[in-house]
Structure 1
Amino acid sequence: MSTTPTTTPTTHWSEDRSAPAAQSLSARWHSESAAPPPRRVVVADDCTKAATAYQLACEGTALLWRGDFHNARRLLQAMSRRIDRKSSPIRPDAAPAESFRLHRRARGHRARVLGKLVVLLEDDHSLSLRRAPDVRRACTEAYGPPRGDRAVSLTELLGVIGAHQWREKGVEVPALGDGVRIHPHYGVFSPVRGEYIDLVARAPLPPAARGGRAFDLGTGTGVLAAVLVRRGLAHVVATDIGPRALECARENADRLGLADRVEVGGPALYPDGRADLVVCNPPWLPARPTSTVEQGVYDPDGTMLHGFLHGLADHLRPGGEGWLVLSDLAEHLGLRTRAELLTAIGSAGLRVTGRLDTSPHHPRARDTTDPLHRARAAEVTSLWRLTPD
């Protein structure tokens, strides 16, 4: 197998090596984590043993699956168990930053190995495997209209399928009313952790913001923009750098009947003009994401956080406030100190006028098997009320 040096990464493989003349095939390669096309591809099916698949994957060889879809999922689970057995546990006495680094490295290794099990999407996004689900709509939502055959990892495809199910079902947001749901799109951070939404829903509004204008920076699904409108803001401008997030926020605003009060735009962090209230819920961990899905969690070098802080004073109307919604998980992991956060706030010409805190209630905070359990159990999410100094 070789990689063709074109603008579109391509995967090549031989379909039947037992035949007198093996058929050479190719397809476009797609990876949301920007993984390069595999350098070598072999065909695998229901007769492929888990031990063989695991060894090949660890060596960097991709396995193009041609068997039963459910057997492919079982093979993936068997490979995952082998990774768990061979991985080194993180020492209980390791420093938090070291635990985080080792955890990220282990997750990266797992993703690389499991990502070597590959499937082929046909030119209509269908999956020609026995007992395969109809994935055409899910893939169109994630990748756009079909444009020929596409090779993707099975782990990525399962994520696409799961995202489609979340998009169909939606996530209930009590702060918006009984039974009201937000529908996340693939690659957009889902509002399954409700504590940051609850903080925005109950924080006291500055007098100037009642019936006024607000900015929701990094809107994602648009959930916070919707909460602000429900609280009485007359007009909310929601921004995001991601095209998927912009489409998702517009669709949710329209679904909730708020399209006339929520204006969605990007990719600039701040829109033009000033507002009575500026809300920002940046990714909480200052580390580099490895995929578009992780962009809602990791903020390289705190770029978005610092962009929000240093632009706030110039975008507030008199009497306005900025709300920074941020977890202190980075502090517990040794990735940022409280002193560094306060210094950043002060250097932006801002002062803290109040703070609301809440503890997480998601399952991972109680999972004692999580290598980062100590940090997650101590986590506090805060809404910092900021005004120009």
Structure 2
Amino acid sequence: MSTTPTISWSEDGSARPDQPTRSAHWHSESAMPPPRRVVVADDSTKAATAYQLACEGTALLWRGDFHNARQLLRAMSRRIDRKSNPVRPDATAAESFHLHRRARGHRARVLGRLLVLLADDHSLTLRRAPDVRRACTEAYGPPRGDRAVSLTELLGVIGAHQWREKGVEVPALGDGVRIHPHYGVFSPVRGEYVDLVARTPLPAHPRTAFDLGTGTGVLAAVLARRGVAHVLATDIGPRALVCARENADRLGLADRIEVTGPALYPEGRADLVVCNPPWLPARPTSTVEQGVYDPDGTMLHGFLHGLADHLHPGGEGWLVLSDLAEHLGLRTRADLLTAITTAGLHVTDRLDTSPHHPRIHDTTDPLHSARAAEVTSLWRLTPD
């Protein structure tokens, strides 16, 4: 018996038991449970009605024009903004962060209740709907019957497909060279951490390197382009493993980059171990957020405590980490230094850089003060 969750609804909106119902598989990348009540919505549905139903927990299965669905989503979003409570002026940085996350979670839940139905070939049978079959196959794999997803998730799938086609330019790899992220894999749009790895002096004659949590494989590619003969790249995410392999092939580096997993550390030792863990010790709410949030700093501590046992004599580890968590009151610098010392490691050098992304200039962002003060560092570590 299949354990795949499903949703059910009546096309005429009737809840009478004698009326026929339809059902479809339910899918949510953020692990939202299937809605208990689903009603049909179309071009005649008012934004106020949709917003009220969604706030009450009722999902709306869209049967109208695709572009009108997007307009309805924007109208619901505006209502959330008008009713949301701003972060208190007297709140601490940590309180502001948690209030901000709570507000974003509420927004995601409400907007996530506007649903669309993908047919058994991943097509979207709505007026003026784009062809989403390829994008959905890339994100979800081969189709397996009708599938209901939130419109917000589908728009993310479409956007990810466009990024995958276009790619992200990475100057550290050369003029015009691009990395192509897959859906659910963190994109290297913030280049400061890549530049740190590209300009930090390498240990003497490194022949082997590990890139832990490789994601798109961008840091593995930088190391290979810098002359490391064999780079072993790991990740715990199946999508990341496929993505990193494809990027290594695309860049002509498949003979120097070996992608393996799911694991943090591979077997054996290396001359250099690089790790760019998620920067914020909090719980992710979706696959994509796993590139930003690391519950309890699990990956950070796993890297630190495993480093000495995976280095050749004379080797070193590079920890690439933002101090945003420190400015948000989620971790202190003393916490980080204690974790390094407890792992039997010594800091030999630290290189810093400031991010240049647009959000540091957005004064309406409730986390603006923390973002404006952020510094990203590459910590060079060796065993005691």
Same fold flag (TM > 0.5): yes
- Is 1:386 the counterpart of 2:384 in the alignment? no
Aligned partners of 1:143, 1:22: CA distance in 2, in Å?
32
Q: How does 1:367-386 map to 2 (within 5 A)?
A: 367-386=362-381
Cα deviation digits, residues 294-347 of structure 1 (max 9, x gap): 000000000000000000000000111100000000000000000000000000
Aligned partners of 2:185, 2:316: CA distance in 1, in Å?
27
Q: 121, 124, 128: which one pairs with 2:118? A: 121
* Alignment correspondent of 1:242: 237
Cα deviation digits, residues 137-160 of structure 1 (max 9, x gap): 000000000000000000000000
* Alignment correspondent of 2:108: 111
Q: Secondary structure, in 3 states, of the residue corresponding to 1:12? A: strand
Q: 1, 4, 8: which one pairs with 1:8? A: 4
Aligned partners of 1:217 and 1:238 also within 8 Å: yes
**193-202 or 87-96, which deviates more:** 87-96
Aligned partners of 1:117, 1:350: CA distance in 2, in Å?
50
Q: 20, 25, 31: which one pairs with 1:28? A: 25
* Alignment correspondent of 2:318: 323
Aligned partners of 2:217 and 2:247 also within 8 Å: yes
* Alignment correspondent of 2:335: 340
Aligned partners of 2:234 and 2:263 also within 8 Å: yes
Q: How does 1:147-226 map to 2 (within 5 A)?
A: 147-209=144-206, 212-226=207-221
Aligned partners of 2:149, 2:214: CA distance in 1, in Å?
29
Q: Secondary structure, in 3 states, of the residue corresponding to 2:74? A: helix
**21-30 or 289-298, which deviates more:** 21-30
**83-92 or 373-382, which deviates more:** 83-92
Q: CA deviation at 1:206?
A: 1.0
**85-94 or 258-267, which deviates more:** 85-94
Aligned partners of 2:151, 2:120: CA distance in 1, in Å?
17
Q: CA deviation at 1:18?
A: 6.6
Q: Secondary structure, in 3 states, of the residue corresponding to 1:290? A: coil
Identify unmatched segments of 5+ residues in structure 1.
none
* Alignment correspondent of 1:144: 141
Q: CA deviation at 1:19?
A: 11
Q: CA deviation at 1:366?
A: 1.0
Q: CA deviation at 1:242?
A: 0.1
Q: CA deviation at 1:364?
A: 0.7
Number of paired residues? 383
* Alignment correspondent of 1:289: 284
Aligned partners of 1:258, 1:208: CA distance in 2, in Å?
19
Aligned partners of 1:11, 1:127: CA distance in 2, in Å?
17
Q: CA deviation at 1:93?
A: 2.6
Q: Secondary structure, in 3 states, of the residue corresponding to 1:207? A: coil
* Aligned-residue RMSD, C-alpha: 1.2
What one-letter code is carried by the residue in structure 2 that aligns with 1:82?
A: R
Aligned partners of 2:57, 2:13: CA distance in 1, in Å?
20
**84-93 or 14-23, which deviates more:** 14-23
**232-241 or 6-15, which deviates more:** 6-15
Q: Secondary structure, in 3 states, of the residue corresponding to 1:384? A: strand
What one-letter code is carried by the residue in structure 1 that aligns with 2:48?
A: A
Q: Secondary structure, in 3 states, of the residue corresponding to 1:371? A: coil
What one-letter code is carried by the residue in structure 2 that aligns with 1:171?
A: V
Q: CA deviation at 1:363?
A: 0.4
Identify unmatched segments of 5+ residues in structure 2.
none
Aligned partners of 2:15, 2:69: CA distance in 1, in Å?
25
Aligned partners of 2:225, 2:13: CA distance in 1, in Å?
63
Q: CA deviation at 1:94?
A: 1.2
What one-letter code is carried by the residue in structure 1 that aligns with 2:296?
A: D
**67-76 or 15-24, which deviates more:** 15-24
Aligned partners of 2:56, 2:14: CA distance in 1, in Å?
23
- Is 1:353 the counterpart of 2:342 in the alignment? no
Aligned partners of 1:72, 1:17: CA distance in 2, in Å?
18
Aligned partners of 1:330, 1:18: CA distance in 2, in Å?
50
Aligned partners of 1:41 and 1:64 also within 8 Å: yes
Aligned partners of 2:42, 2:221: CA distance in 1, in Å?
48
What one-letter code is carried by the residue in structure 1 that aligns with 2:35?
A: P
Aligned partners of 2:285, 2:26: CA distance in 1, in Å?
17
Aligned partners of 1:249, 1:92: CA distance in 2, in Å?
43
Aligned partners of 1:46 and 1:68 also within 8 Å: yes
Cα deviation digits, residues 183-212 of structure 1 (max 9, x gap): 000000000000000000000111142xx1
Report sequence identity in percent. Answer: 87
